[in-house]
Chains A and B, each alone.
Chain A
Amino acid sequence: MNAHAKEQKSAYPRSRATGADAVIASLKAQGVEVIFGMVGGQIMPVYDALHRDGGLKHLIVGHEQGGAHMAEGFARVTGRPGVVMTTSGPGATNLVTGLADAMMDSTPVVAITGQVSSHLLGNDAFQEADMRGITMPITKHNYQLTNADQVAPVIAQAFQLAATGRPGPVLIDLPRDVAVGETEIMTAVAAAVNGRKAPRAGHPLQIERALGLIKAARQPVILAGGGIIHAGASAQLKELAECLDLPVTTTLMGLGCFPSRHRLSLGMPGMHGTGYANLSLHNSDVILCVGCRLDDRVTGKLEAFAPQARIIHVDVDASEIGKTLAAAVPIVGDAKPVLEALTKGARAWESRPDFSAWHKNIATWKARFPMGYRAKDGVILPQQVVERVSSLMGDTDIVVTGVGQHQMFTAQYYDFRAPRTLVTSGGLGTMGYGLPAAIGAKLAKPGKNVFLIDGDGSFLMNIQELTTAVRYRVPVVAAVLKNAHLGMVRQWQDMFFEQRLSQSNLEPPDYDKVAQAFGALGRRVERPEELEPALRWAMKEARAKQLPVILDVMVDPEEPVLPMVPAGAANVDFMPCRTEAS
């Protein structure tokens, strides 16, 4: 029977279910609350099943990339896979940036893409794109289904893969003939993927060796990454750090896993990290690196990174260990049981090592290279916006960013108090991530304030999602920091390209008015004294009207992100902050 005849048959009274029905039933069986998506030709049978079922919330997005970032935002604040669904061809290829972003930041996402019927595959049919081939390097795994009976088991396995071990995106490509093909509705339990289990506890011998290194250390540092948040190991991290008095530096993706204002916190390391975090790492003799992949933005010039340090590297993904730097002690395992085992081992010691001399050194660096900036009369500085927002937000409220200067200012000046309170694009650095990710986060956590701090360049890149936020009344609040430049590019041009501002100036529209045109609320903020009242107004109005509120905030275009390690330089050669005192 050819696919067309099969389709004709199944479009009318059905004694059995179709692959499309199985998709909807499987998503519900996985506990999916919301789908972000966009209907189109080849995915229509699934949308028809969605309509007939009527029991799953779906948001029509402005652009599929936005849908992917919404799924990411949802996943980052819940730890559960976000779901995005698109048609074939352009609908599916528009997911590419979002999937690559999710891959880099280990974000669980399940993408379902329509595909042309099997008999047309490989024929360059209308809206055909080889999604399996295109997304191979940017997904944890992907599938192309060949018959409707595969739907239930594959979806079950996709959710399991996306969320376990090191999380990541999984794509399921669904040819139309599979969607309309007959099957039984089954509730599949994910079959173990080739018998593999996600690693849990670390090897006891390596734990023992790690404890030995820490005990003998004089200048140890914990380098905490996003893996701690995925593992839900913030409490275990705090326990270990406090038990042994170990200073903790937190990568961008790890922010929130350790309280920013904790006495042992060193803030963020790396390119825009604090001077004292970089100095501590540089002078350390043992680094306990947990759930962090030691990427170039963290290490700076690799050969000059922590020259005396022996690294204890804990990661759930064995391939991260030894990838950029050799590990003295490799521990493949989940951060939670590994940190628990380390704390347990340390508690059994007869005496705790004395790191007071080391803490004294760190205190000197903190005093010598403090974070800070020089306020300017009559001009709002981006750092001030971040500090004000931070002061108005609750401990578990969620801050979201785009990518650029505003993102780094947020990482530096926001007071993170709990895990899963920062949603940002770290690895891929995707401008345009902020607004859709904020929408996804707010849908997942309607009871929390979700505040987007964005740049005027970044905000524009997925501004179409204002329509989604207004239509579904998703009350995110945004402060768009307007400096009329691609600020981070401009900063580099100022510093390293003799101030030749090549193509980095923008002529952004009035975002308050743009917001109003979309049906959201908007307000322009120009003067420092207007800032706090405007922020309070925005948060209150969003709650009251259940609508997004966009603040168009004029900020100083010349303020650079400091400290900064020039690209390719060693982390100790950072340019410090220009503070009031300096």
Chain B
Amino acid sequence: MERLNPIAVLVRNEPGVLARVAGLFTRRGFNIISLAVGETEDPLVSRMSVVVSGDDAVREQVVKQLRRLVDVLRVDDLTRQPRVERGLALIKVKAPPERRGEIVELANIFRAAITHVDPRALVVEVSGNSKKIQAMIEMMRPFGIIEMARTGQIVMARGRREAHGQPYDQNQNFEVGSDPLGFADPDDDDDDNTNLLRLK
């Protein structure tokens, strides 16, 4: 079954690492939906949050191929893990004075911030999981989106690191479809706006 698979990749913070990972995805034909790279608590280590679309076989290959890269320290497949997922979008939307209030009200519902205002437009800053951001964008569309910028989604498993992710170990044997911790719901995310999003 095709699904979106969030994968956290810890890599050595070295020049060329992004190219290695991106090149791997290109040449193996893996489809990246979102990619975000940033520092971690350890300055020598960067964290890439990658969301890949594909079935279990694709997901398994993505994880295994990433583990072949020498600069990759650890790969956590978070697809079936309880997790926190966040991205950010800046949406510049047409806002003549008579419609401003409406937009601000919507932004409040999404706990979004208004980060700029001028006589003709507002910039709305919204963060959350991809569904929430998408919902916000859809709500803004009728007003007229002038410009938009989005980050990739960053993902983190809930709980202790050791408890959720598998430590780097080439000896482990993978089984497609295994769900050792019993978290079968891939969309498990008790985000504060989840209910609102489901209404949409």
User: Chain A interface (Cβ within 8 Å of chain B)?
Assistant: 132-133, 136-137, 140-141, 144, 161, 165, 193-200, 203, 206, 317-319, 321-323, 326, 330-333
Contact = CB atoms under 8 A, between A and B. Distances in A.
A203 B172 CA distance: 8
Contact of B171 (A195, A321, A332): A332
Contacts of A203: 171-173
Nearest to A318: B64
Contacts of A193: 70
A206 B173 contact: yes
A165 B67 CA distance: 13
Contact of A196 (B23, B57, B168): B168
B164 interface: no
A323 B176 CA distance: 12
Contact of A161 (B70, B73, B168): B70
A331 B173 contact: yes
B87 to A, nearest CB: 28
23 contacts: A137-B23, A137-B24, A141-B71, A165-B170, A193-B70, A194-B12, A194-B71, A195-B168, A196-B168, A198-B170, A199-B171, A203-B171, A206-B173, A318-B170, A319-B65, A319-B67, A321-B64, A322-B57, A322-B60, A330-B174, A332-B171, A332-B172, A333-B171
A197 B169 CA distance: 8
B174 A318 contact: yes
B176 A319 contact: no
A332 B173 contact: yes
B116 interface: no
A456 to B, nearest CB: 34
Nearest to A196: B170
The interface centre, meaning the residue of A136, A200, A321, A331 with most chain B CB atoms within 10 A of its CB, is: A136
Contacts of B12: 194
A317 B173 contact: no
B19 interface: yes
A323 B70 contact: no
B70 A332 contact: no
B175 interface: yes
B170 A199 contact: yes
B16 interface: yes
Interface in B112-171: 168, 170-171
B170 A133 contact: no
Interface residues of B, number: 26
Nearest to B170: A199
B58 to A, nearest CB: 11
Nearest to A165: B170
Contact of A140 (B70, B168, B175): B70
A318 B171 CA distance: 8
B27 interface: yes
Nearest to B171: A199
B200 interface: no
B68 interface: yes
B19 A318 contact: no
B100 interface: no
Nearest to B175: A330
A195 B60 CA distance: 22
Contacts of B86: none
Contacts of A330: 173-175
A321 B68 CA distance: 13
B174 A137 contact: no
B194 interface: no
Contacts of A132: 16
A199 B12 CA distance: 21
Contacts of B168: 194-196
Contacts of B67: 318-319
Contacts of B173: 203, 206, 318, 330-332
Nearest to A146: B15
A334 B115 CA distance: 58
Contacts of B176: 322, 326
A322 B65 CA distance: 12
Contact of A194 (B20, B70, B172, B174): B70
A150 to B, nearest CB: 12
B61 interface: yes
A319 B61 contact: yes
Contact of B19 (A136, A195, A206): A136
A318 B170 CA distance: 7
Contacts of B73: 194
Contact of B170 (A136, A206, A332): A332
Contacts of A165: 170
Given A141-B70, A330-B174, A333-B171, A136 B64 contact: no
The interface centre, meaning the residue of B16, B73, B171 with most chain A CB atoms within 10 A of its CB, is: B171
- Top 10 nearest A-B pairs by Cβ distance? A319-B64, A141-B70, A199-B170, A199-B171, A330-B173, A318-B64, A203-B173, A319-B65, A136-B23, A194-B73
Contacts of A198: 170
A326 B175 CA distance: 10
A501 to B, nearest CB: 34
A550 B65 CA distance: 44
B27 to A, nearest CB: 5
Nearest to B23: A136
Given A326-B176, A332-B172, A332-B173, A317 B68 contact: yes
Contacts of B70: 140-141, 161, 193-194
B170 A319 contact: no
Contacts of A196: 168, 170
Nearest to A142: B16
B105 to A, nearest CB: 50
A136 B60 contact: no
Given A133-B19, A319-B68, A322-B64, 7 more contacts: A132-B16, A136-B16, A193-B70, A194-B70, A203-B172, A322-B176, A331-B173
